[in-house]
Structure formats: C-alpha cells, structure tokens
Amino acid sequence: MIPLHALALTLMGRFTNRLYVGYSSWYAIGTLASMQVPFVGFQPVRTSEHMGALGILEPDFSHSYLLTFSQVSLAFCKSSHL
C-alpha cells in the first residue's frame, strides 16, 4: 500500500523531498528487517514481487535529483549575476 501511495502522490504532482526521504527510508529499513527472518533470507531482493516497490524509488530519485539540481543551478545563476 505504501508504494502505491508514493506512486500516486508522485503522479499527482505532489512530490516532495520529504516523501522521497520517508519512502526510501521505509523501503530500506523494511527490506533489511524482513531479511533478518531466517526463512525469508534474500527473497526480498531476489524475487520479482518485490521489484514494484523498488521500481518506485528510481523515478522518485530522478525527480528529487532534478528538483535539487534546478534549485542549485538557479541559486548559482542568481548569485553570479549572469
């Protein structure tokens, strides 16, 4: 449910850096915690049913990078008086 919520917010244009940090932290901690169960092992990173949740991280990461890069570029241009 959480990956679908993050995807819906991204598609609706309500992406924020807080969403990226929250979702990526949840995904990393949740995946590592599930791998600590002995009979689960490395299945969260091997099987295809977990790839949807991982697939949401890539567009969110790209979007976050582009937002940050554009803000830094804009601040640099304003400060250098080009």
What's the mean pLDDT in 62-80? 81
- Which residue type sits at 69? F
Structure tokens at 17: 């850096």
CA–CA separation, 71 and 67 (whole Å):
6
Per-residue pLDDT tens over the stretch 19-45: 888 888 888 898 899 899 998 888 887
- pLDDT at residue 76 is higher than 90: no
59 closest CA partner among 9, 40, 41: 9
Number of neighbours of residue 16 by Cβ within 10 angstroms: 13
User: pTM (2 decimals)?
Assistant: 0.63
CA–CA separation, 56 and 19 (whole Å):
12
